[in-house]
Structure 1
Amino acid sequence: MSENFPGQRSSSDSLPVPREWLGSPRLPHLLAALHDRLPREQAIAWEGVLEQAIGPEDPELSRFAFAQPAAGLAEQLGTAIRAWAAECPDLPGAALSLAMKAIGETAHPPLAQPVVSGPVSPSVPARLTSGIALEVIRSASSSLLISSFAARDAEAIIAEITDAARRGVQVDLLLEETTSAARAFVALPSDVRVWHRLSGSGVLHAKLIAADRDTAVLGSANLTDRASTDNIELGIILRDPAVVGPLVDHFRWLISPQAHIMRRSNA
């Protein structure tokens, strides 16, 4: 990836701009979108870099941006830096850092938010599949329900599931048997329950991660490394118990003995 400093043009300058941005400052919208996307640890790090920056030309800003491995994040940070340079170059970085902190103190997570894999544009304040999947698993306090058609090369997911099981979370994995998805999870603790669909004309194709009964991410991405990073995938994170609760109930019914739809692997 070539490094584009604030005064340079990059491919992100030609990305579609939301209608409400036309004729109005972009920087506030960009800062809000970054807050929605960045995990808390990265947001704190970004606030620290901003606080020390004299202005948008500070090279530490670009160094921080292009050190980010998440797909599209460097470009999104770069777009914010260029908007700063274009709209209010005399504003010190400490002011932007304070604005980011204020957003964090007053904002409430939206009940529904897009989740994507692959290229990310500034058009939609989306979260990355790779990060949000780990956050949802990490947030589980009593139960974790995961469904996937395929699974492989998911070491980070496996590590988070292992930690969840060790802290007493009941974990249920609903996996498609024809793809051998269960092989990816052979190292998980024995109390993690794995479920397969009984023989029939269809397959288990749903992709879902539900923590307790209040937070869930669902979409097109399987539990694979490519699906969470390189592939163009689309999903949504739900933080509404009124929606997530019935969704969890449906999958709990699927694995119930009376439904005769799923069977526990090796049980």
Structure 2
Amino acid sequence: MNRRDPIPGQEGPSEASKRRAAVPAARSGAPADRLPALLAALCERLPEDRFVALERFLQTATGPNDARISRFVAGEPAAGLARQLMDIVQAWRAGAPLLTGPGLALALTTARSLPRPEPAQVVVSGPLGASLPARLTSSVAMEVIRSATTSLLIASFAAHGARDVVQEIGRAVGRGVHVDLLLEESTQAADAFAALPDGVHIWHRVGAAGVLHAKLIAADRHTALLGSANLTDRALSDNIELGVVLRDPQLVEPLIEHFHWLLAPENNIMRRV
């Protein structure tokens, strides 16, 4: 009795399973998806001179299988750079084998030309050792306030003294910046800002379900200082405090929107004093 080949669509369970097994499953991080991310990561690392050298080399490369590529990669002295370049070459071969060297050079130049957010930076108060690349809270707070052109959103559980910060907020008001101060009522934090112009908006939390404990200085929608430090002389300079300054609008904007939601009258969370 002769065996007949199964009709497609009418295979038995075992035949259908074999057909499915022969088809590679889709995976995230496929070579075609990896190449743009690898190029972006390379742009973050390469100094200008090495970027120019790589771009010039790619302009002469015929494609990912050009024999000269291995020699160029092997000649890179920086630690880990050769491995990073080989990852790009492998993704190039697997995901875009028909892309020429000038085409990859154009993609690399495009990636480098795109605006890249500055990385988050550690901010501290108190003793500062040489092992931690950080900046002092007092100087960063002043810098963030000075960078505001349209709005300042400041939150603090406690406030006392901090005359330099108060004066800088006053200067911001003088140049037309809208200022919202979210302060904890039980600590009488608003007293520290009594000398500010009437245009400053001071907010307290409604009810007694909890306190306003956030510490934030946000300029416009581009920069935000977050941390443990209140707006007091000791917290800004002497206490052991820790924070971070964000200069990525994609991170800062949702943060600002959250506080705007807190201030919305219909939500009855904060009240203007």
In structure 1, C-alpha distance between the alignment counterparts of 2:195 and 2:264, rounded to whole Å? 25
- 184, 187, 191: which is aligned to 2:199? 191
**What is the aligned length?**
158
Please tell me whether Structure 1 or Structure 2 has the larger radius of gyration of its CA atoms. 2
Which residue of structure 2 lines up, in the alignment, with residue 141 of structure 1? 149
Aligned with 1:254: secondary structure?
Answer: helix
- 130, 134, 138: which is aligned to 1:126? 134
Question: For residues 7-156 of structure 1, what are the structure 2 equivalents within 5 Å?
Answer: 110-156=118-164
In structure 1, C-alpha distance between the alignment counterparts of 2:177 and 2:118, rounded to whole Å? 25
Instruction: Verify: 1:241 aligned to 2:267, yes or no.
Output: no
In structure 1, C-alpha distance between the alignment counterparts of 2:138 and 2:153, rounded to whole Å? 17
Aligned with 1:229: secondary structure?
Answer: helix
Deviation at 1:256, TM superposition (A): 0.8
Deviation at 1:123, TM superposition (A): 1.2
Aligned with 1:141: secondary structure?
Answer: coil
Contact 2:144–2:223 under 8 Å retained in 1: yes
In structure 2, C-alpha distance between the alignment counterparts of 1:140 and 1:201, rounded to whole Å? 32
Q: Which amino acid aligns with 1:197?
A: R
Aligned with 1:136: secondary structure?
Answer: helix
Which residue of structure 2 lines up, in the alignment, with residue 9 of structure 1? none
Which residue of structure 2 lines up, in the alignment, with residue 18 of structure 1? none
In structure 1, C-alpha distance between the alignment counterparts of 2:265 and 2:117, rounded to whole Å? 37
In structure 1, C-alpha distance between the alignment counterparts of 2:132 and 2:267, rounded to whole Å? 40
> CA-to-partner distance for each residue in 1:27-69, whole Å, 9 max, x for gaps?
xxxxxxxxxxxxxxxxxxxxxxxxxxxxxxxxxxxxxxxxxxx
Q: Which amino acid aligns with 1:262?
A: M
Aligned identity (percent) is 65
Q: Which amino acid aligns with 2:203?
A: W
Unaligned runs of 5+ in 1: 1-107
Deviation at 1:109, TM superposition (A): 8.1
Deviation at 1:224, TM superposition (A): 0.2
Which residue of structure 1 lines up, in the alignment, with residue 266 of structure 2? 258
**Deviation beyond 3 Å, 4+ runs, structure 1:** none
Which residue of structure 2 lines up, in the alignment, with residue 8 of structure 1? none
Q: TM-score, normalised by structure 2?
A: 0.57
Which residue of structure 2 lines up, in the alignment, with residue 182 of structure 1? 190
In structure 2, C-alpha distance between the alignment counterparts of 1:169 and 1:110, rounded to whole Å? 24
Unaligned runs of 5+ in 2: 1-115
In structure 1, C-alpha distance between the alignment counterparts of 2:139 and 2:128, rounded to whole Å? 14
Q: TM-score, normalised by structure 1?
A: 0.58
